[in-house]
């Protein structure tokens, strides 16, 4: 008996998995969704902290939330399946010692291009930041400051959260210059615009792109040579969780290989849990989006300090003014 | 004989009206047509089918939409009832109670929810609710809905009350009715059409609200608009088209009913 | 109906102010029981205001109103044994005729069958039994008027107030309803206080009339008093048409005076209260003037206009000092009516002329 | 939802004299507590110091307004210049809202007129036809509009099929699409008040004008429009105010590419920027603009009423 | 104003149907130039409909309308040299008085100063120069009426149509405006077509009257013709009060007939067109009856009611067969008025009675 209140990304968990958890533990599960790490943070800050038990922030956001004191901690002994976590994800820089989080899925953020519209080389960030004529005005960009600015920095070859003024100015100038070639901003629509053909190219998460492809879009996911964003989303235990016990049960449930595999099959990213492979579909196992060439550099998005973040905010506002 | 000179007719106005109707209905008709599409994707026409209607009732999201629809209706009915009552009382104060201190301010107040842009109301309410520790939930939605429904209920109620001369109530009083009796036995029945349309307007406005609800709603509580938004922003799915078509039909039924009621009221 | 009859409504020095505007000023009226009393005056003179203070919808700024000797200042409208027939009838549109008539009875606590029975009786009285189930909107103006009357009569009020109840009816209908109203008043014996701005209506229906102007009572009296012995210029002018001659009063005696007419002739006539020597006005009704031979006439002039009115002919005679007098000559075969341009003399009987204050 | 909702009603009767304060109390209580206070709190927030990543620090600051009006460069250390960014966003929103209002007026007036001049029962049916779409959720309506106008959506398919165009019309993610969305969202707010005015319009005025040698269009301009003006103004306000803060149409149909006031405010509370005092300040500026418009209107209205 | 005067408006066999309802049936009227012509009839008889077809707001189902000989069927209202004073005035509420009056002039292409000058003149004519800057809502009903008149007069129309322009005014004001209207018509020489349902109004103002009932013209003639020689029962009854006696016609000659009265007496009187022998109606105006000694009177009965009207007294005499006759006796000192219950005889002059068709 009891409840569980989940704050989650959109289209990131199949209803069956929630139903399964609900049935197994006799818990009533409710879920709200968000479409960016920042939106989640803001809404928790604006008063919703205390009404959810768990959320699923990306790597850098875990660090931020911990710094804001928004996370509760647990003992590893509370989670009987804690040991299922793959070693490389068992201790991470954004949550040293995994005191508040467990891995959910990891993947990359790059972009996909409709092969009917453009047949040239797509493994370059120029597709987005210096687009070929065929794609101009047909590009959707994620409505996510962190990922866009990180990818843009890679395009320019400058470090994330740089404090160098010239580099920041160049970043600003790059975005100002290319904005006119972009059709729309949107994260949750990223798949739909590619499927419907509203956009011929678009920034997108790898799994989302795989889904778009399986829905009939003739697209190819790029692994640009300048770099791309990698991320890990994590289930975190929120401070003041109204149903902490059930939250722990839920996290433990998600460390079960069969359960997390169901999510991987649905969302088409990669789980950080041992023993998942046997449950995966062939489609997921062989998806090109999930199997990057090993030499390609992926980078986590960094959480910048306040001074840089304020410049980033200005650049972002300039982009959308 | 000669052509009739009709001062009410302006060339082109009828055409514009038809164009207007076309613009209003074209998207809805597209939605209706595509709700019968037997295809997972809305972009490809896969033949006629009712499968998405089945999906509405038995599909994976059916439970979620059922709960959301129920929430929406409960909230809309409660908000409409309360705001109609408040609006009726306010209209009586502003139109029937002579002068009193703060009357013009009250007038502004009653119409204020209409004047404050919705996004401002939404954000302000969210911050205020959390500042006073009024935890987000059902009640926050209800309260917010009551507030913004008041002017919508007020408009038709006041219009109706204005058109009813107070001589009827005076007559009642002259015939030994107390003020309360005059109000209950005379004014209220005469106001019925105004109150009904105020109620319906409030109901529909509440049922339709997305922005404010989305800001103030509690964790896991969905109304139909927020549920649809959550499920539709990624892209329109055929099941959403089926839901919309069903909603449209229910609405048409509802409007037709209210119209018939209104017409009956008018006849008297 | 003598002055010994009990006083139904006693209005004492009533003054009503709306802000700085005085709608009623020192109005005192004693309306007798069983009387058909009319308040007559031009639009805006305060008739409705006075009626509303009696009904209790307005409170007086000063003064008192007594109903059969009892001060009713503190009674709200629903506690006063006074009913009103409203100008626009104010029939409850959502109730049928019977329910309308029953309303007051039920508010007084009568049971449904009792009230229904009484309603039936009153509808009988106003000859509307056949319409008992109709809604007001399904009836003509005249019928609605009678429902309004029935509704006000049903609770058997001590005093019935009627605010221009006939003004919405057309001429022929109005004439018919006047008679009915008078009959019902006589049958029921209820005191009627009737408001109108139509002097003909006032004259045909009333026992007594109070003429009001500018919030003040100008004159109270029987119809004949008001018409034939107006107190002042306003009353003379408002009630019917009159010819006013500027005269010089020279010899003021008890109710009598001698005046010097514009042409120089002298004339003796009755004087109203408050007349004084010096400049004055002599009022003579058109029908009390006669066209006479020029020789020996007190006034003479030229016929400048003839207006045919069917029943009568109005002959306008312009006197030598360019004042215009109207003579009303009844159209009948034996009257000779002078042509335009004829020079004629004007005669008037002493009893028909009256010396007025302003 | 007849017109004149903004102006105060008539000279007022006094049937329930003395009960006014008691009857208005519930409205005061709920609107006062749950709208006036929150808006008041926003006003206070706009003068506080922002907390990094959302929230406020209770220290007085004019930074939010400073940010709105002054441009201190990318790094905030240049000498202040006038900041055009936000003024432009406001200007764009006002312009969009004004265009939508004009668009609604040009379609809405003839429609309202046409409906109001039908005979009784036809009139009801027409009104009914105009309002039915509004019983469908705004969201669904906006999304179906989006679906309809997308590059390879039904509209373009139809146009290509008829051969009217040979490449798809690009409407989605343009300002025109936003216009269309706003128009579609708020049209009845224009039609209904105008309808109410026209319905009350006394055609004796048109007859008098025709009798005095005016043609129909001259009559429309010189007689009808001035007389039904209150309905037109009410309609314009009811379209303009919500359009100004509109959020769904720009987001869904405009591609969220250009900030409108609504999305700018939302961004401050929900998005990346997380600057609450700034969001509050923008809200207050928006609110005061709306109030100015309404006050001007109310003043004009009462002047007009006083002169009648 | 003889029949040689040119015809201003010539209405030929006009029929107007609204669906299956016939509002006008075969109406033919020849309205002369410079005439003050009145359409008189009860509510709903088609007066307004007729006026609106002349103005061009309605089209006839059948028939033709000629304006000074020219068929105007195809002219829209704004092309007809005809102006209208509307019943509710229809003054443009957003324009001041001057602007209202200038409107028609400017529509005709006059420049602003020209139009302003002419407006000034017309306002002078209706004595409203002092009100030039007021809005219509700031004026009394009578003043508004004059603005409406000025507005319609300003473009100097050939024909002016007036649809019950006085019905919204109160009695005294109505009387004053009647005179003014007549004077203005005489000064301007414009043909006035005036609609009213008030017979007194029609009688006082018109050169000629057309009495209309049920969409058909009942009679056209001078005021005196209409009152004294009504064509049929309807006209006699509608214009003024009349006593109608059921008689038996025995001896119908050229314009003359002998009738047997209810009491059995015989009486010779003029007959209207279409009278026939057998049952008929004899109409006698109350003022044309006289109270005479019972002996030798053609009719006799008992006084059952006396109504004081100021100018006159109405005496109701119930005949032996219970028909009620009204005699109008002018109030003057030398008339003797019998009391209620007195038995009296009734006299009437042959010339004053008239035999009517139904
Ligand atoms: N509530 C009020 N406030 C201010 N003035 C008022 C009010 N009610 C009436 N008056 C004024 O008092 C005067 C008398 O009004 P009242 O209604 O009694 O006139 P009336 O004699 O009934 O006129 P009518 O024949 O037009 O009905 C008028 O000048 C009117 O303008
Ligand atoms: N548009 C219409 N459709 C149907 N019937 C109409 C229409 N206009 C007028 N009528 C009918 O035609 C008849 C004549 O109407 P009209 O307005 O001419 O009467 P009127 O003599 O002016 O009456 P009143 O004195 O009441 O103004 C009435 O019975 C009326 O109901
Ligand atoms: N569909 C959810 C994507 C999550 C990216 N971090
Ligand atoms: Mg009155
Ligand atoms: Mg008429």
Q: What is the pLDDT of residues B156-191, one digit of tens each?
A: 888 788 878 788 988 998 889 998 999 999 999 988
Q: State the best of C311, C329, C346 to mutate against chain E, taking most chain E CBs within 10 Å.
A: C311
- pLDDT of C132 > 70? The answer is yes
Chain B residues within 8 A of C92 when measuring between CB atoms: 168, 171-172, 186, 190
Q: Is E237 domain-assigned?
A: no
Total structural domains within chain C? 2
For residue C233, tell me if it sits in a domain: no
Is there a domain that residue B109 lies in? Answer: yes
Instruction: Show the tokens assigned to E193.
Output: 């077509």
**Mean pLDDT computed over C319-346:** 83
Identify whether residues E45 and E90 lie together within a single domain: yes
Residues 6+ apart with CB under 8 A from B179: B173, D15, D16, D19
pLDDT at residue D43, rounded to an integer: 95
Give the model's pLDDT for residue E122. 92
Compare CB distances from D247 to B97, B119, B131 and report the shortest one's residue: B119
> Which residues numbered 46-105 in D keep a CB inside 8 Å of some CB on B?
none
Nearest CA in chain C to B192: C94
Q: Find where tokens 């008689």 sit.
A: E247
Task: Give the model's pLDDT for residue D304.
Answer: 61
Distance between CA atoms of residues C149 and C84, nearest Å = 8
Top-confidence residue, D75 or E211: E211
D276·B128 Cβ contact <8 A: no
B96 close contact with D: CB closer than 8 A? yes
Contact residues, chain C, for E304 at CB < 8 Å: none
b/e sequence A179-195, b meaning 16+ C-beta within 10 Å: bebbbbbbbbbbbbbbb
Query: Which residues line the pocket of ligand 3, CB cutoff 6 A?
Result: A 9, 11-12, 58, 205, 208, 231, 233
Q: Report pLDDT for A279.
A: 93
Structure confidence at residue B264 (pLDDT): 59
Q: Nearest 5 degrees, angle CA D157-CA D162-CA D164?
A: 95
Question: Which among D23, D45, D124 is the nearest to B259, CB-wise?
Answer: D124
Range of the domain at C351: 244-356
Q: What is the number of helices (H) and of strands (E) in chain A?
A: 13, 10
Instruction: State whether E70 and E98 are in the same domain.
Output: yes
**pLDDT (average), residues E175-190:** 85
- Chain A residues within an 8 Å CB radius of D271: 36, 38-39, 42, 145
Whether C77 contacts chain B with CB within 8 A: yes
Assess whether E80 and E138 both reside in one domain: yes
Q: What is the mean pLDDT of residues C279-307?
A: 86
**pLDDT one-digit tens code per residue, C39-57:** 998 878 899 899 999 999 8
Mean pLDDT of chain A, nearest integer: 91
Question: Do C11 and C67 sit in the same domain of this protein?
Answer: yes
State the helix-helix crossing angle for D261-270 and D84-116, rounded to 10 degrees.
130
pLDDT at D273: 63
In this predicted structure, the answer to whether residue B91 has a pLDDT above a threshold of 80 is yes
Q: How far is the CA of A134 from the centre of ligand 3 (A)?
A: 28
pLDDT digits (tens, 9 = 90+) for B8-66: 889 899 999 999 999 888 888 888 888 888 877 666 777 888 888 888 888 877 888 88
From B109, B145, B111, B110, select the one nearest B125 (Cα to Cα).
Answer: B145
Q: Across the interface, do D271 and A36 touch by the CB < 8 Å criterion?
A: yes
Which atom of ligand 2 approaches the CA of E47 most closely? 21
Cα within 13 Å of Cα(D245), Cβ side: 27
| Nearest chain E alpha carbon to B4 | E59
> For residue B133, what is the nearest residue in chain A, using CA coordinates?
A47
> Are both C182 and C255 inside the same structural domain?
no
Number of domains into which chain B is organized: 1
Domain D100-268 has CATH 1.10.3720.10: yes
Contact between D143 and D248 (Cβ < 8 Å): no
Tens of pLDDT, residues A172-203: 999 999 998 998 888 888 998 898 888 899 99
Establish if A16 touches chain B: CB-CB under 8 angstroms: yes
CB within 8 Å: D151 and A182: no
**Chain B CB contacts of D126 below 8 Å:** 17
What is the structure's pLDDT at B267? Answer: 47
Q: What is the pLDDT of residue A249?
A: 95
Mean pLDDT, residues B100-115 taken together: 86
Residue with the bigger pLDDT between E54 and C231: it is: E54
Could you tell me if C12 and C135 lie in one domain? Answer: yes
Is residue C239 included in any domain, yes or no? no
pLDDT greater than 50 at residue C89: yes
Are there at least 3 beta-carbon pairs closer than 8 Å between B and A? yes
D37 to chain B: which residues are within 8 Å by CB? Answer: 128
Q: Is the pLDDT of residue E177 over 50?
A: yes
The pLDDT, as a whole number, for residue B42 is 67
Residue A69 C-alpha from the chain's centroid:
22
Of C228, C262, C289, the position where a domain reaches its end is C228
User: Same domain for C133 and C277?
Assistant: no
Q: What is the CATH number of the domain that holds C30?
A: 3.40.50.300
Q: For the residues E168-176, what does the mean pLDDT come to? A: 73
How far apart (Å, rounded) are the C-alpha atoms in residues A270 and A288? Answer: 12
Whether there are 3 or more C-beta pairs closer than 8 Å between E and A is no
Residues E251 and E334 in one domain: yes
The nearest CA of chain A is from the CA of B220 a distance in Å of 5
Instruction: Enter the pTM of the model.
Output: 0.81
Residue C44 in contact with ligand 1 by CB distance below 6 A:
yes
The mean-pLDDT minimum among A63-67, A69-73, E10-14, E348-352 falls in E348-352
Ligand nearest to the CA of B233: 3
Least confident of C179-193, E63-77, E330-344: E330-344
Q: Does E74 touch chain B (CB under 8 A)?
A: yes
Which is the closest atom of ligand 1 to the Cα of C41? 21
Residue B66 tokens read as 């059922």
If you measure from the C-alpha of residue D308 to the centroid of ligand 1, how many angstroms do you get, rounded to a whole number?
18
D5 touches B: beta carbon within 8 Å: yes
Shared domain check, C352 and C301: yes
A58-62, A292-296, C134-138, E288-292: segment of lowest average pLDDT:
A292-296
Q: Which ligand is nearest to the CA of A40?
A: 3
**pLDDT tens per residue, range E248-278:** 888 777 778 888 887 778 888 887 777 788 8
Residue B2 has what pLDDT?
42
How high is the pLDDT of residue A1?
65
Q: Which residues in chain C touch residue B172, judged by CB atoms under 8 angstroms apart?
A: 92, 103, 107
User: Is the residue at B4 inside a domain?
Assistant: no
Residues 167-206 of chain D whose Cβ lies under 8 A from any Cβ of chain E: 202, 204-205
Comparing D9 with B16, the larger pLDDT belongs to B16
Q: Say if residue D9's pLDDT is above 60.
A: no
Residue with tokens 């006629």: B48
Mean local confidence (pLDDT), C76-96: 90
Q: Choose the closest CB to C309 out of E198, E200, E288.
A: E200
Do the chains contact at C351 and E332, CB–CB below 8 Å? no
* pLDDT computed for residue B13 by the predictor: 93
Average pLDDT over residues D274-280: 89
**In this structure, is residue B23 part of a structural domain?**
no
Q: Summarize the confidence of residues C167-194 as an average pLDDT.
A: 82
**Chains touching chain D at 3 or more Cβ pairs under 8 angstroms?**
A, B, E
Centre of ligand 3 from the C-alpha of residue A169, in Å: 29
With 60 as the cut, is the pLDDT of residue D221 above it? yes
Please tell me the distance from the alpha carbon of residue C317 to that of residue C306, in angstroms, as a whole number.
Answer: 9
pLDDT at C147: 93
Nearest to B2 among E57, E59, E77 (CB): E59
Q: Give the D:E interface size as CB pairs under 8 Å.
A: 70
Tell me: do E84 and E213 sit in the same domain.
Answer: yes
Beta-carbon neighbour count of residue D159 at 10 Å? 15
- The half-sphere exposure of D292 on its side-chain side, counting CA atoms within 13 A, is 6
Per-residue pLDDT at E266: 83
Question: Do E223 and E250 share a domain, yes or no?
Answer: no
Q: Are residues E83 and D212, on separate chains, in Cβ contact within 8 Å? A: yes
Whether ligand 1 lies within 6 angstroms of the CB of C21 is answered as yes
Residue B207 included in any domain: yes
Give the range of the structural domain holding residue B99, as residue numbers without chain letter.
52-266
Which pLDDT value is given to residue B268?
42
Q: Which of E18, E24, E59 to mutate to test the interface with B (most CBs of B within 10 A)?
A: E59
Burial (CB count within 10 angstroms: exposed 0-12, middle 13-18, buried 19+), residue C210: buried
> pLDDT of D109-132, one tens digit each?
999 999 999 887 788 788 888 888
State residue B1's pLDDT score. Answer: 40
Which pLDDT value is given to residue D7?
32
From the CA of A9, give the closest atom in ligand 3: 2
Residue A49 banded pLDDT, cuts 50, 70, 90 = confident
Q: How far apart are CA E247 and CA E249, in angstroms?
A: 6
Q: Among C162, C195, C228, where does a domain finish? A: C228
Pairing label, strands C289-292, C343-348: antiparallel
Q: Residues of chain B with pLDDT > 90: what percent?
A: 24
**pLDDT grade, residue B104 (50/70/90)?**
confident
Identify the pLDDT of residue D10.
39
- How many Cβ atoms are within 10 Å of D253's Cβ, its own excluded? 28
Choose between E79 and B235: higher pLDDT: E79
- For residue A262, the model assigns a pLDDT of 95
Q: Do residues E55 and E152 lie in contact, with contact meaning Cβ atoms separated by under 8 Å?
A: no
Q: Give the C-alpha separation, C101 to C156, whole Å.
A: 12
User: Which CATH number is C301's domain given?
Assistant: 2.40.50.140
Point out the domain boundary residue: C228, C257, C274.
C228
- Which atom of ligand 1 lies nearest, measured to the CA of C195? 22
A9 CA → ligand 3 middle, Å? 6
Residue B15 lies in a domain: no
CATH of the domain at B96: 1.10.3720.10
Q: Check whether E223 has a pLDDT greater than 70.
A: yes
pLDDT at E3 > cutoff 60:
no
Among B residues 110-129, those touching chain A with beta carbons less than 8 Å apart: 126-127, 129
Beta-carbon separation of A165 and D75 below 8 A: yes
Query: Using an 8 Å Cβ cutoff, are D271 and D133 in contact?
Result: no
Say if residue E114 is in the same domain as residue E142: yes
Question: Which atom, in ligand 2's list, is nearest to the CA of E42?
Answer: 25
Whether the pLDDT of residue C158 is over 80: the answer is: yes
* Best probe residue, ligand 1, of C20, C21, C23 (max atoms within 8 Å of C-beta): C23
* Residues listed for chain D: 308
Chain E CB contacts of C36 below 8 Å? none
């Amino acid at each position: 008996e009891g409840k569980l209140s989940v704050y989650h990304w959109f289209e990131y968990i199949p209803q069956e998995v929630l139903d399964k958890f609900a049935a197994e533990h006799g818990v009533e599960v409710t879920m709200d969704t968000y479409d960016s790490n920042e939106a989640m943070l803001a809404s928790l800050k604006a008063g919703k902290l205390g009404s959810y038990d768990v959320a699923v922030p990306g790597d850098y956001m875990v660090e931020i939330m911990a710094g804001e004191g928004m996370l509760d901690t647990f003992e590893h002994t509370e989670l009987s399946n804690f040991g299922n976590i793959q070693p490389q994800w068992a201790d991470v820089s954004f949550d040293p010692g995994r005191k508040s989080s467990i891995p959910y899925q990891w993947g990359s953020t790059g972009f996909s291009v409709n092969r009917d519209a453009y047949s040239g080389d797509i493994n370059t960030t120029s597709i987005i930041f210096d687009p070929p004529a065929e794609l101009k005005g047909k590009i959707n960009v994620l409505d996510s400051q962190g990922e866009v600015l990180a990818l843009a920095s890679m395009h320019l070859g400058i470090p994330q959260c740089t404090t160098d003024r010239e580099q920041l100015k160049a970043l600003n100038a790059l975005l100002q210059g290319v904005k006119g070639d972009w059709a729309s901003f949107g994260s949750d629509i990223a798949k739909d615009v590619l499927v419907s053909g509203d956009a011929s190219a678009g920034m997108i998460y790898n799994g989302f792109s795989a889904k778009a492809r399986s829905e009939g879009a003739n697209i190819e996911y790029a692994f640009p040579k300048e770099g791309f964003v990698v991320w890990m989303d994590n289930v975190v235990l929120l401070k003041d969780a109204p149903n902490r016990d059930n939250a722990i049960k839920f996290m433990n449930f998600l460390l079960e290989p069969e359960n997390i595999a169901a999510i991987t099959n649905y969302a088409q990213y990669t789980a950080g849990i041992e023993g998942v492979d046997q449950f995966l579909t062939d489609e997921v196992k062989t998806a090109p989006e999930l199997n990057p060439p090993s030499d390609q550099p992926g980078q986590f998005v960094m959480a910048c300090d306040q001074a840089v973040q304020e410049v980033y905010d200005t650049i972002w506002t300039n982009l959308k003014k | 004989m000669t052509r009739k000179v009709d001062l009410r007719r302006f060339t082109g106005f009828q055409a514009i009206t038809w164009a207007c109707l076309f613009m209003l209905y074209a998207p809805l008709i597209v939605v209706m047509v595509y709700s019968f599409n037997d295809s997972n994707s809305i972009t490809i026409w896969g033949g006629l089918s009712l499968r998405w209607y089945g999906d509405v009732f038995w599909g994976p999201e059916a439970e979620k939409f059922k709960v959301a629809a129920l929430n929406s209706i409960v909230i809309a009915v409660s908000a409409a009832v309360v705001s109609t009552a408040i609006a009726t009382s306010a209209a009586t104060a502003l139109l029937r109670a002579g002068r009193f201190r703060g009357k013009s301010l009250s007038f502004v107040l009653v119409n204020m929810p209409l004047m404050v842009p919705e996004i401002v109301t939404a954000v302000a309410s969210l911050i205020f609710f959390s500042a006073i520790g009024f935890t987000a939930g059902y009640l926050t939605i209800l309260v917010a809905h009551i507030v913004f429904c008041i002017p919508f209920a007020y408009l038709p109620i006041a219009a109706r009350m204005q058109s009813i001369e107070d001589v009827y109530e005076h007559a009642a009083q002259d015939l030994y009715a107390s003020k309360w009796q005059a109000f209950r036995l005379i004014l209220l029945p005469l106001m019925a059409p105004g109150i009904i349309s105020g109620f319906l307007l409030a109901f529909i406005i509440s049922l339709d609200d997305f922005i404010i609800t989305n800001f103030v709603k509690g964790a896991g509580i969905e109304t139909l608009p927020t549920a649809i938004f959550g499920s539709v922003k990624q892209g329109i799915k055929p099941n959403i088209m089926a839901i919309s078509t069903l909603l449209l039909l229910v609405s048409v039924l509802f409007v037709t009913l209210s119209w018939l009621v209104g017409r009956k009221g008018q006849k008297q | 109906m003598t002055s010994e009859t009990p006083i139904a409504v006693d209005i004492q020095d009533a003054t009503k102010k709306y802000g700085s505007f005085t709608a009623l000023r020192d109005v005192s009226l004693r309306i007798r029981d069983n009387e058909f009393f009319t308040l007559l005056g031009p639009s805006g003179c305060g008739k409705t205001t006075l009626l509303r203070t009696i009904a209790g919808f307005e409170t007086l700024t000063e003064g008192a109103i007594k109903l059969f000797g009892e001060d009713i200042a503190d009674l709200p409208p629903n506690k006063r044994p006074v009913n009103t027939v409203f100008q626009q009838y104010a029939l409850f549109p959502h109730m049928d005729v019977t329910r309308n008539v029953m309303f007051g009875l039920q508010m007084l606590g009568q049971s449904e069958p009792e009230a229904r029975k009484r309603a039936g009786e009153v509808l009988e009285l106003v000859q509307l039994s056949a319409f008992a189930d109709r809604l007001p909107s399904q009836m003509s103006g005249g019928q609605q008027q009678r429902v309004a009357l029935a509704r006000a009569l049903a609770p058997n009020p001590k005093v019935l107030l009627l605010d221009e109840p006939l003004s919405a009816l057309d001429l022929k209908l109005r004439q018919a309803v006047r008679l009915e109203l008078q009959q019902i008043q006589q049958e029921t014996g209820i005191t009627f206080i009737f408001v109108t701005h139509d002097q003909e209506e006032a004259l045909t229906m009333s026992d007594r009339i109070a003429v009001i102007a500018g919030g003040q009572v100008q004159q109270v009296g029987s119809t004949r008093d008001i018409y034939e012995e107006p107190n002042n210029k306003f009353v003379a002018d408002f009630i019917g048409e009159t010819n006013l001659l500027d005269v010089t009063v020279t010899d003021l005696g008890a109710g009598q005076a001698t005046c010097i007419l514009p042409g120089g002739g002298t004339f003796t006539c009755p004087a109203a209260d408050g007349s004084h020597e010096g400049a004055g006005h002599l009022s003579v009704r058109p029908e009390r003037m006669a066209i006479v031979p020029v020789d020996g006439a007190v006034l003479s002039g030229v016929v400048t206009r003839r207006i045919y009115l069917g029943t009568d002919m109005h002959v306008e005679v312009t006197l030598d000092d360019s004042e215009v007098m109207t003579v009303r000559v009844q159209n009948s075969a034996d009257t000779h009516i002078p042509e335009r341009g004829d020079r004629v003399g004007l005669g008037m009987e002493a009893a028909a002329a009256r010396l007025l204050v302003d | 939802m007849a017109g004149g909702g903004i102006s105060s009603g008539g000279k007022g009767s006094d049937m329930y004299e003395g009960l006014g304060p008691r009857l208005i109390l519930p409205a005061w209580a709920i609107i006062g507590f749950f709208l006036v206070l929150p808006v008041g709190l926003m006003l206070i927030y706009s003068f506080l110091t922002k907390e990094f990543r959302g929230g406020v620090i209770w220290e007085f600051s004019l930074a939010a307004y400073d940010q709105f009006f002054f441009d201190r460069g990318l790094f905030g250390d240049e000498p202040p210049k006038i900041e055009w960014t936000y003024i432009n966003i406001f200007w764009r929103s006002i312009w969009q809202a004004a265009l939508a209002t004009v668009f609604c007026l040009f379609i809405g007036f003839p429609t309202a007129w046409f409906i109001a001049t039908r005979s009784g029962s036809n009139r009801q049916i027409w009104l009914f036809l105009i309002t039915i779409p509004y019983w469908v959720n705004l969201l669904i309506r906006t999304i179906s509009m989006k679906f309809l106008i997308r590059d390879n959506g039904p509209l373009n398919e139809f146009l290509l099929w008829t051969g009217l165009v040979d490449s798809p019309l690009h409407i989605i993610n343009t300002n025109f699409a936003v216009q269309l969305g706003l128009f579609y969202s708020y049209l009845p707010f224009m039609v209904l008040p105008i309808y109410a005015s026209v319905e009350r319009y006394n055609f004796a005025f048109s007859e008098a004008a025709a009798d005095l040698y005016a043609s129909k269009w001259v009559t429309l301009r010189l007689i009808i429009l001035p007389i039904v003006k209150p309905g037109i103004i009410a309609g314009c306000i009811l379209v303009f105010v919500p359009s100004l803060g509109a959020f769904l149409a720009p987001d869904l149909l405009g591609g969220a590419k250009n900030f409108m006031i609504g999305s700018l405010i939302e961004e401050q509370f929900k998005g990346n920027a997380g600057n609450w005092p700034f969001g509050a300040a923008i809200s207050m500026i928006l609110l005061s603009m709306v109030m100015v418009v309404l006050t001007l209107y109310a003043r004009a209205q009462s002047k007009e009423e006083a002169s009648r």
